[in-house]
């Protein structure tokens, strides 16, 4: 597990000292991303789970959502 100096953390696969493969990154504010990483960027299938209870699941390319996905609001 990696812990950053700003309170975030990453648990998952690494390649050349970068998040690469499947992993979970959690930010200090409680947001987290679970899914595929490529050279420290969200890339492939994954889900953002926000601290407020909302979530987004879909495909990411070079760190950004790409195409269709599913956004769920906390009720």
Q: Is the pLDDT of residue 75 over 90?
A: no
Q: What is the pLDDT of residue 42?
A: 98
Q: What is the pLDDT of residue 67?
A: 94
Q: What is the pLDDT of residue 21?
A: 97
Q: What does the pLDDT look like over 14-58, one tens digit per residue?
A: 999 999 999 999 999 999 999 999 999 999 999 999 999 999 999
- Rounded CA-CA distance 10/51 in Å is 16
Q: What is the pLDDT of residue 31?
A: 98
């Amino acid at each position: 597990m990696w812990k950053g100096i700003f309170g975030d953390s990453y648990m998952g696969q690494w390649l050349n000292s970068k998040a690469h493969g499947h992993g979970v990154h959690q930010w200090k504010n409680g947001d987290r991303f679970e899914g595929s990483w490529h050279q420290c960027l969200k890339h492939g299938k994954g889900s953002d789970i926000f601290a407020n209870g909302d979530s987004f699941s879909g495909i990411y390319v070079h760190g950004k959502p790409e195409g269709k996905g599913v956004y769920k609001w906390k009720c």
